[in-house]
Chain A
């Protein structure tokens, strides 16, 4: 580690949701550029524990950028300086010797702070619970190739379905809106024939759940798209709005005549 860097860190410490928090200064030496950002924090924690102090809490699990557990606002940017990258996939080669880095938790009314850099993102689950699915009982599915789905539609659905539910979109939005998260699921399902049956009910219930959970509204800043580790496009938000308008003008009674239970 002869090319180890010295890094100064200012880290948000807050013992619990009710206590006041503050930025605390740390310095860590011999940081290898091969280290991931979270591995650097692991090493820092080891040093903190050795001193008899309380280590920094942060969420992290797969460390492959797919589970959505991690999330730190790094120098004011959710997930840090590299585009299309979750915090766990950020590596120290993107920083240089002597840098000072500021680490803060996701900040949003709907994401109460639990401790240090850990927040409660259950509000995102409540949006899915409200309708982010196709209602199909186990065992009742037709043959998988019974519905042909063009590659273009399947790819569009997959682009939106790639959302990892990390909440960076919320953390970076001036309104703390979950529009990109919600729109990604709506866009995923509405691009597939399986998702069409419930499209009107889905968008109305999910948008309502988003409001209920305390997320703000979207006013087209586009910050969400800029920080999304999966680079989900705000075009999905346009899809969500179109779907929402459509649902408002949808004639439920007429639809009921055509296909009972469908909307």
Chain B
């Protein structure tokens, strides 16, 4: 398969045994002298787990950091909404965990479409993350004896997930945010609030700055630096309805793609199995119910299609606990992609519940009977409250209704082992890169990766880049900045000038429907081709019939949306194109043409064991795909089985 490897993609994975690669790489990496660090300015875009942890750690090292975020406060980044937990191979539970096992579970969970060396490093640094967070005062759950508590998550048979009630993301983010604010106090980190990155500026082929819009007054600003760290999260919001926040978007990453950063595996989208179902057309977003609920909740549907009886009147023998039936060894704790597809399968056959028939039950009656309501309240109280607030139903008394929803995107900007994109000096951290989760992310691994990248990877790898030299002083007054600023202004002017009839969210809703129907949980050739055509048509209408209200010089949410939706059309098309080319099923990418006789995903390792990285070739040209061959030297590629 060597001929598959593109010359443009050098993963820079160090030679040597897997367990020694990171250690060796750190030793081989050049260092920046402490007194020289203050001469460098680093631009960090986004202040979620990856961005805040990077900004804090780099500030501590002595670099000057400029941190940009779209919210009023850096603490609002969507990492805050992560509920269930964070994995680490501490083996505190004494149940057989190890760095190797976390590595193996993550590679297998990702359906063998991630890079071994990156995943192994992730597992290695996972333990230091927990240490760091505890030292910051993150109030993880504890046992009565005072040690940290653990719980199980999907795709693993050990208890390695650390958690802070159902608010783990919040507490980890506040830890990173507080560490960053300490550096704000020392003057090493400067915050730029309510700024949206609208473009990347490259000089002599290197990333040297960004163009932002001040969301309060519409001012277009240029910021220069020695490197740019993109920590802007994923693109799940493209689907309109997702568990992402209202402001989560792909624009910064997409702008980088159009400036030369390749986009890897865009079709790898995670559909989370346990979300509160859609209630009507007014729906603005979907709410996740943490995967941790599957520790104690049992998933079922009525055995008979169209059974409209309330759940309490359906006797045990007329229920199908389909996950326990199909996957006896993992049961309700199968990975997310498997659980989501299984839910879709039963609903497609008419067994779905609720008014729409697009839901399954997640039932706690057995756990409440076994453990008592108080224990369940202690474990999941805030999630149960949230469910009741949204649905008006009490999940202690009646089973939750859940359905899969778009949650996370494994694809993202292609990065090498140093987290650098194909644009020198542009790094991508956290969800906005593609690197660690392959075709499916395991629960409680997103927080781990975001913090690994920010606390423990980038502080080493960026030094190697900066110490490599060649970074002449640049200024935001330079021609290169002015040119890109003019382009950004042009785009905004164009959006405002259309003066059509439909608002951007209306278009977005329609785009989301095309994506969900054709590039969602089940994909096939005809549907993907339809999606590409439909997206093209809608995009054409967008540029003729868009209505953006208000002025560009004030806070104007709909103008912000308009720019993001324009980018979603392009990214959505690339996702469909990528899904069409990948003629296999793996992880979250399920091509209906490629499934086993039992309906499981059928990988085709002989042809598709690679990362597909797409290169932008111009607005009118088709993107070019480059392949990074995935070499599995330490794990054997097997058909995933959770039976």
> Taking beta carbons and an 8 Å cutoff, which residues of A are in contact with B?
1, 15-16, 32, 34-36, 38-40, 42-43, 45-46, 48-50, 52-55, 57, 59-69, 82, 84-85, 89-91, 93, 114-115, 118, 120-122, 124-125, 128-145, 147-151, 154, 157-158, 161-162, 164-165, 188-189, 191-192, 194-195
Contact = CB atoms under 8 A, between A and B. Distances in A.
A154 B78 contact: no
23 contacts: A36-B390, A42-B505, A55-B558, A57-B555, A59-B72, A62-B80, A64-B288, A67-B76, A68-B73, A91-B389, A91-B390, A120-B72, A122-B72, A125-B191, A132-B178, A141-B134, A144-B140, A150-B142, A150-B144, A157-B137, A161-B164, A188-B139, A194-B135
B318 interface: no
Interface string B282-321: 1111011000000000000000000000000000000000
B555 A115 contact: yes
Nearest to A60: B246
Contacts of B72: 59, 69, 120-122
Contacts of A63: 245-246, 284-285, 287
A46 B144 contact: no
Contacts of A69: 71-72, 76
Given A89-B386, A122-B73, 11 more contacts: A35-B279, A57-B555, A57-B556, A61-B76, A61-B78, A64-B81, A89-B389, A121-B73, A130-B185, A165-B75, A191-B139
B631 interface: no
A128 to B, nearest CB: 5
Given A158-B165, A162-B167, A61 B131 contact: no
B280 A165 contact: no
B533 interface: no
Contacts of B182: 129, 133, 135
B145 A148 contact: yes
A54 B136 contact: no
Q: Name which of B71, B185, B455, B547 has the most chain A CB atoms within 10 A of its CB.
A: B185
Contacts of A132: 178, 181
B555 A36 contact: no
A150 B146 contact: yes
B599 to A, nearest CB: 32
B256 to A, nearest CB: 23
Q: Is the interface of A mostly helix, strand, loop or mixed?
A: loop
A149 B146 contact: yes
A61 B73 contact: no
A139 B132 contact: yes
A201 to B, nearest CB: 12
Contacts of B245: 61-63, 67
A148 B282 CA distance: 48
Contact of B135 (A50, A65, A141, A165): A141
B47 to A, nearest CB: 11
A195 B247 contact: no
A64 B135 CA distance: 28
Given A91-B392, A122-B72, A141-B131, A62 B178 contact: no
Nearest to A157: B139
Contacts of A50: 501, 503
B146 A34 contact: no
Contacts of B142: 149-151, 154
B90 A133 contact: no
B376 interface: no
Contact of A35 (B81, B137, B191, B280): B280
Interface residues of B, number: 82
Given A46-B505, A66-B170, A136 B136 contact: yes
B606 interface: no
A140 B179 CA distance: 13
A55 B556 CA distance: 9
A189 B137 contact: yes
Given A54-B550, A129-B184, A161-B171, A85 B389 contact: yes
Nearest to A56: B557
B368 interface: no
Contacts of B505: 42, 46
A143 B555 contact: no
Contacts of A138: 53, 56-57, 60, 132, 179, 455-456, 459
Interface of B: 53, 56-57, 60, 71-78, 80-81, 90, 92, 128, 130-137, 139-148, 164-165, 167, 170-171, 174, 177-179, 181-182, 184-185, 191, 193, 216, 245-247, 279-280, 282-285, 287-288, 385-386, 389-390, 392, 455-456, 459, 501, 503, 505-506, 547, 549-550, 554-558
Contacts of A59: 72
Nearest to B78: A62
A158 B164 contact: yes
B137 A188 contact: yes
Contact of A64 (B283, B287, B503, B555): B287
A132 B280 CA distance: 42
B386 A65 contact: yes
B73 A192 contact: no
Contacts of B179: 133, 136, 138
B73 A165 contact: yes
A158 to B, nearest CB: 4
B128 A141 contact: yes
Q: Which of A35, A64, A68, A124 has the most CB of B within 10 A?
A: A64
Contacts of B555: 57, 114-115, 118
A34 B391 CA distance: 7
Nearest to A82: B389
A38 B145 CA distance: 44
B134 to A, nearest CB: 4
Given A1-B280, A124-B73, A144 B90 contact: yes
B78 A144 contact: no
A118 B75 CA distance: 17
Contacts of A62: 76, 78, 80-81, 245-246
Given A61-B245, A62-B81, A125-B74, A148 B146 contact: yes
A134 B143 CA distance: 23
B147 A145 contact: yes
A51 B571 CA distance: 31
A116 to B, nearest CB: 8
Contacts of B557: 55, 57
Nearest to A136: B135
Pairs of residues from A and B, 9 with the lowest C-beta to C-beta distance, nearest first: A148-B146, A141-B135, A133-B178, A141-B131, A158-B139, A138-B57, A157-B139, A34-B279, A144-B134
Contacts of A140: 135
Contacts of B132: 136, 138-139, 141
Given A49-B547, A144-B130, A149-B142, A128 B181 contact: yes
Contacts of B385: 84
Nearest to A121: B72
Nearest to A86: B389
A132 B185 CA distance: 11
A35 B178 CA distance: 35
B13 to A, nearest CB: 23
Contacts of A52: 549
Given A61-B78, A148-B147, A55 B549 contact: yes
B185 A46 contact: no
A87 to B, nearest CB: 12
